[in-house]
Amino acid sequence: AAQLGVPCLVPRSGVAEATLVRGADVRPVDSLAEAVVSALEPVGIRPAAVPVNPVGPPLLDLSDVRGQPVARRALEIAAAGGHHFLMTGPPGCGKTMLARRLPGILPPLEHDELVQVATAWSAADRVWEGGLSRPFRAPHHSASLASILGGGSGRLVPGELSLAAHGVLLMDELGEFSPHLLDSLRQPLEDGEIRLARRGLSLAFPAQVQLVAAANPCPCGHLGDRTSPCVCTEAAVARYRRRMSGPFLDRFDIRIAVGRPGSIDGPRGERSSDVRERVVRARALAMSRGCINGHLDQAGLEAIEMESPAEAMLRDALAMGRISGRGFARVRRVARTIADLADCQVVAESHVAEAMALRGGP
């Protein structure tokens, strides 16, 4: 309605969401009679814009995590660049704890992002009450394909993927999700939207999410664990790992192995607010070039300035088969983010080396 320049009649319960749209002539009504009168008025009574609570619900703080310096560093880099992030490790090492603290170090939603989030939630018959905090969704591994991707037997409804738009989608126990579902995520993650079709109707829902996943290294979870021996057979480990295809794992810019912390009695970690300041600065540098680094297209990748030794290191890794063609691009993206966090205009060899180290895991 705002784009067409026409009034928009909405139920009073929807005024808070409707007034998020700038320039909309919102006319709240409670009955059909009110709707007729309001539609015939040349100028409607515009309700005052409902202020958005910038704080939203309380977020978990990164200071709760003790130890795990490598995982914390990887989480910060993932937040700064909007990179998909996979953690693999035994049960109880803190993978889920870390992932659930990612929203607390992300910058607040921009206005256009907030409108798209509220629209997606409204289309799913829900009200967005998260303020300017970014959405966080964590579907169970038993969730159906339709509940995550969207769909429905009647009208098309956004799924968890779209409810997490411009925020975080956590897939805990990644190896327990259906292999078909995981492979169905590949294209939406690449395109930033998912298109669903039913009975000749085709709709596009947002899917620009930051995917964070946690997985055990094997069915029992103790492969490579120093404290508990693995009881899985080689065949069981192979079947488990085949559930996560190579093309799907290639979508993760950052893949790390997380070990058990040496101690849980150490000092508290750095607060989320301090880490968020660095993340916001790094994102601002990336946005000055057009977009965050996790969304760089081929032209953006080619425009990355790299020192000669850094470029040589990356090309040698590609020639030796240590990374794939897609991995080559993803390492460049992560290296650019590391350089932004260090406030460096040119990507150095040390930035590439760290980016390559963060592309381990399964």
Indicate the pLDDT class of residue 266, thresholds 50, 70 and 90: low
Q: What is the pLDDT of residue 342?
A: 96
Residue 142: both structure tokens together = 């038993």
- Residue 358: the pLDDT is 95
| 59 contacts 103 by C-beta, under 8 angstroms | yes
Q: Kindly indicate the confidence band of residue 46, based on its pLDDT and cuts at 50, 70 and 90.
A: low
Task: For the chain, give the mean pLDDT.
Answer: 90
Burial (CB count within 10 angstroms: exposed 0-12, middle 13-18, buried 19+), residue 75 = buried
Under the banding of pLDDT at 50, 70 and 90, the label for residue 80 is very high
Residue labelled with tokens 């301090």? 274
Span 178-191, average pLDDT: 94
pLDDT band at 44 (very low <50, low <70, confident <90, very high): low
For the segment 52-56, the average pLDDT, to the nearest whole number, is: 61
For the segment 339-354, the average pLDDT, to the nearest whole number, is 96
Q: Residue 52: what pLDDT?
A: 60
Element (H, E) at 11: strand 8-11
pLDDT at 152: 76
193: left (phi over 0), alpha (psi -120 to 50) or beta: beta
* Residues 132-178: tens digit of each pLDDT: 999 999 999 999 999 999 987 778 899 999 999 999 999 999 999 99
The residue-averaged pLDDT of 173-198 equals 93
